[in-house]
Structure formats: structure tokens, C-alpha cells
A and B are shown apart, each in its own frame.
Chain A
């Protein structure tokens, strides 16, 4: 009987390798991704909620949340505009050097974050190429939250460009033509016809850029100056606690960061799914 059932479930799948690929995937995800997270909760288990609350709401830590979230929000906004512009230019126009510009878009992903970090720190330091004339304009970047936002924007720009680009590419010419034949000017057509198509991708890309910025470490610490209460990011707070062998404190703050990142990731996934469903049929 059990033999019969087994054969039946086997024959229901035409292609081989279900058991093997399922085994490898589940084992890997459990061991590499999920098991270590349990270590975090193990560490926090000994903590009462009041103690936990005290650690994660300490003044310096809260200041670091503010700096991180504020700078990440600014970076995400910059990238939403800049990324949309780049995706548009790369998809809609041809011009000399376009392939080079396209390749350049992946640089922030390919370049190690520490390299980006020391380079931006040097460029924007008061005697760097950019920093020297920004200083002359009385716009210091290094060791301010502007520098943090700049480093975040640098490392996360590809998220926006690379999510918007394919959607823009897939937009049929007829959509433009229909809008124009109905009398819409460029501005109106962009706002009312093109943007609604791009919203989901733009929000997804910006959301991913924001999540990435929240966790960024290597690119930021060199340019930030790391002044407590002023330019200290949350990832650095965790790092500092670790160096002081305060594993409990590090874990508590890390759990906040982890929770926020995963919640945002989940929200982005769900939101995107709902939007895609509406455009491709199903209930509105």
C-alpha cells in the first residue's frame, strides 16, 4: 500500500530531482540562513522585556536610529529620482557611450563597500577633489549626515535603476502612441500613463535601496566621522558593543535592525504581488 502511494506521488512529477533539490535547498536554508538567527534569540532569551527595552531605547542608540533612518530616507529619495532618470535615459535614448553608462550602473554592487568607503571619504574630505570646493561653498559633507546619505546613495543606486529598467523596456510603444494620439502632451502622458506603469518597480527598487542603506556598514564608517549622537549609524553601534564584548547589547540592537529589515522585505514582496495581480487580471 505504502509502496503504491509512493509510486503514485513519484509519477505525478514528470521531471526528476525533486527530492534531491528539495533536500539540498531546505538543508542549506535551515543551516545557513535560519539556524544562526536562532542564536540571536538564544542570546536574548535571558533578558527580561524591561531590560531589552532599556537597551534598545538608550539615548545614543536612539540617536543612531534617527541618523540611520533619516540618511537612508534621504538616500532612497535621491535614488528614486536619479535612478528613474538613469533608467529612462538608458532605455529610451541612444547616444555615444550608452553601453559604458549602462555598465557603470553596476559599479556600486561590484565594488567592495570598504573600497567605496575609503574612496568617498578621501574624495569628500576637506582636502579631497570634491570636498575642497564643497568646503569653499560652506557645504561640508565628510563627517556629517550628508556624507552618510551620500555613501548610502552610492551603494544602493543600482537597486532602483535595475528594477525600473526592465519594466520600462517592456512598455510597448503603443502605450506612448495611444496617449499621444489622444492629444496628451509629454508631461501629461508621463504623469498619467507612464508613471502608473513604473510605480510598482520604482517603489520596489526604492524600498530595496532603503533596506540596503539601513544595514550598510563598510561604505559609511569611513566618511561618517562616527560622532556619538551625531553621525553614528546603528550598524556601527552593534559593532562597538561587540568590541566591548557586550554581546547582549549587540544582540538586542541587532534584533531591532533584523526585524525592521525583514518586515520591510516582506512588505515589499506582498505589495509588489498585489500590484502585479491587479494589472494582470483578477479582482481589482
Chain B
């Protein structure tokens, strides 16, 4: 079997270009992160990571991610179920609306939350009279993180559930299963890997969000500094090694995300091969 572009010379040239350019523009930065982080030895890296403010930033970042995931999960599953299992007017509109966070600049995302919930906003002002402050504290960070990450689970599930169709669920309902049983025993096993990948993506984005968070956090060291914000401050303070130590931690999460994705895809392709 031969296809267009299979001539050996063309093939080799294109592969060489693709590998070369990817190496230079994608792989090299990745290598540079770790090279910089360890440029003054492991002990300096370690003292940077175990610094109190860094540890606090790590804790806050993970906490925010942990709270974000369940919210995005419930919303993503509900929306995917809604748009793939029912047809109703406005279905396409919902699918377009869900893309808003992808299109909106993170800084703008942070700004609109700040305007609404800040002391001068109409909700924020009202809350302020009860002495509740959402902006420049962790609830604000959580809110913008949810805004930025909410499409991921739904976007992973919708194409899959669309492709699978609703025959199996219909069969379960005909056999007398309740709604929850149908979901748990029929739908969930079919979508669990996509769901897991959606969660991994949500997590990666939640941990790494910078623009939106930097608008609403106030970036107070030891209080509202997430890891990406902390990294920025270290970098601005000319502590490059410290900044790259934080960057290395975040890059590690990114690498784990990529590995998880590759693993899940490998699994899926193997299951397909056996089917």
C-alpha cells in the first residue's frame, strides 16, 4: 500500500523537519526548566522548594485544584448528558457557550470576577456589608479557576458520548433500571477513561492558571500566593533558580499529565484492537 507523500526522500525530509523543529521549540524549553532548576545543585533546589512561602503556595495551589475538580466534574457530566442524550431548542447555543472560557483572555476573566465580586461590584458591595470578602482571598482564586477550567470535562465527554449514542442507556431503562442505576452501571463504565482524562486536564489547568488568578489574588506571600504567582515573584526578585525550582514542580505535573494521556490513549487503542 502506498499513499501520497510516501516517496522515501519526501518522507525523511518531512520527518526530519518535524522532529527538528519540535525538538528546538518544544523539547528544548522543557529541558531548560530542569537545567535551570538544578543549575546550582540539588541542595539549592531543595532549599528553594522547602522554603515556607513555596510550601504554602504549593498547599494553596493543590487545595484550589482539589476544590475545583468536583465542581467541574458535576457540571461537565451534567452538560454532556444533557446535550448528547436529549434534543431541545438551544442545544447548540449551550455547546457554544461552554467554549467561552477558551476564548476569553485570562486577564479579562479575572477582571469580570473582580468587577462583580469586588468591593465596588454589586454583589461584592452587598457581601462587603456583611464583612464577606471574596476577592483577594482564596474563594476568589477558586472562582476564577472554576471559570477557566469548567469546559475541560464536558469537552472530553461530549464527543465520546455522542459517538456512543444512547442505545445502551435505553436498553437499561427498558429493562427497568432507575436513572441513577443506568448512569452508574451503563454510562459510567463507558466514559470513565474520558472522565479521568478530563479530570487530569482540569487539574493541570487549575494548578497552572496565572493570568486570571493574578488579577484576583492580590498575591500576598504566605496567604494568597499560588505556585505560578510565587514563581513570578521569585523571578522578578532575580531569584531565577528559585523560580525555576517552582517551574520544575509545575513542569513535573505537566509531564505526568502527558504521561497519563499517553497511557489512556494506549489503553483505548489496545481495547479497540481487541474489539
Contacts and interface: CB of A to CB of B under 8 A. Distances in A.
Direct contact of A and B (CB under 8 A): yes
B121 to A, nearest CB: 6
Contacts, number: 292
A33 B15 contact: no
Contacts of B166: 14-15
A146 B116 CA distance: 36
Interface stretch (A16-24, A51-59, A274-282): A16-24
Contact of B22 (A93, A104, A214): A104
18 contacts: A17-B183, A18-B86, A33-B147, A39-B113, A104-B22, A107-B258, A109-B204, A110-B253, A112-B228, A114-B208, A115-B33, A173-B3, A208-B102, A235-B106, A247-B114, A250-B111, A251-B111, A251-B115
Contacts of A89: 14-15, 17-18
Interface residues of B, number: 99
Interface of B: 1-7, 10-11, 14-15, 17-19, 21-22, 25-30, 32-33, 36, 74-75, 78-79, 81-82, 85-86, 88, 94, 96-108, 111-117, 120-123, 143, 146-147, 150, 166, 169-170, 173, 178-179, 182-183, 201, 204, 207-211, 214-215, 228-229, 231-232, 235, 240, 243-244, 247, 250-251, 253-255, 257-259, 261-262
Interface bin, chain A? 35 or more
Contact of A114 (B81, B182, B231, B257): B231
Contact of B211 (A21, A93, A118, A218): A218
A212 B108 contact: no
Contact of A154 (B25, B78, B259): B25
A105 B113 CA distance: 32
B103 A24 contact: no
A14 B85 CA distance: 9
Nearest to B87: A13
Contacts of B26: 104-105, 107-108, 154, 157
B116 A265 contact: no
A112 B210 contact: yes
Given A36-B116, A93-B11, A238 B97 contact: no
